[in-house]
Amino acid sequence: MRIIAAAPAAGKGEGMRILNGQASGRDISNLVLDMGNVLLGWTPRDFALRAADSAADADLLYCALFDSPDWALHDMGQVDEDTLLRRAQERLPARLHRQLEYLIDSWPAWMPPVPGTDEITRRAKQAGYRLYLLSNAGVRFPGALRDQPFYPRFDGMMVSYHERIAKPDVRLYRRLCERYCLDPGECLFVDDVEVNIQGAMAAGMQAHHFTGDWQPVVVKLGLQ
């Protein structure tokens, strides 16, 4: 899914780019956010527990689906969902096939918003920042976002499934900037995975490693 970028909005905050322990002030115009554990909670073991009748069955479901190499391949658009399901079924006893189908159909609805997400996106948008999503995610990702109040605030989205490359590949960050005519140095990228932060910085973006606290982002954007 893609949203066509809006015209550049006025208003910028003063940001920091952290590199090798050094901080340098840079103007920020664009806030680029990951989805899992930044916008929405990503807890696949809990999802498996919700679909299973026991903890042991949940472990089997988790390993067959989320912890398999096919999940990453699906995120990169190299395995479609039918193949993902079929290969997961091959790893499971037949008695769990129904729960597997239920899990695949249901997990997007089980991703709750990360606390503070609605507020930070609302405040950033009101301050004139443009918002973008850059996520390693599969074909069902829109179902996880569509009903969230912050969804309409985004000016553009890029998902690995459609691009056939994934973070931390520097090409994905550059492709986002090229598609939406963004200056990488004016982008603050927020992700919960350190290696993805390094990929963003290699692409010339400013970056923040998110650990659940939005306050450092508030400060970087000058939203205090």
* Cis status of the peptide bond prior to 108, with omega within 30 of 0: no
Helix or strand (DSSP H, E) at 159:
strand 156-159
Would you say 83 and 116 are in contact if contact means Cβ atoms under 8 Å apart?
A: no
Looking at residue 26, its pLDDT comes to 55
Residue 170: what are its φ and ψ, rounded to 5°?
-60, -25
Joined tokens for residue 140: 């069902």
The confidence score (pLDDT) of residue 140 equals: 85
For the full predicted model, state whether its pTM sits above 0.95: no
Report how far residue 215's alpha carbon sits from residue 223's, in angstroms, rounded to the nearest whole number.
Answer: 9
Phi, psi dihedrals of residue 19, rounded to the nearest 5°? -145, 120
Which DSSP string corresponds to 107-144? Answer: GGGG-PBPTTHHHHHHHHHHTT-EEEEEE---TTHHHH
List the one residue out of 221, 38, 25 whose CA is nearest residue 130: 221
How many Cβ atoms from other residues are within 10 Å of residue 16's Cβ? 18
pLDDT in tens, the chain (224 residues): 333 333 333 344 433 333 323 333 459 999 999 999 999 999 999 999 999 999 999 999 999 999 999 999 999 999 999 999 999 999 999 999 999 999 999 999 999 999 999 999 999 999 999 999 999 999 888 778 988 999 999 999 999 999 999 999 999 999 999 999 999 999 999 999 999 999 999 999 999 999 999 999 999 999 98
Task: Look at the block and give the residue holding tokens 């899990």.
Answer: 103
pLDDT recorded at residue 5 = 32
Other CB atoms within 10 Å distance of the CB of residue 72: 16
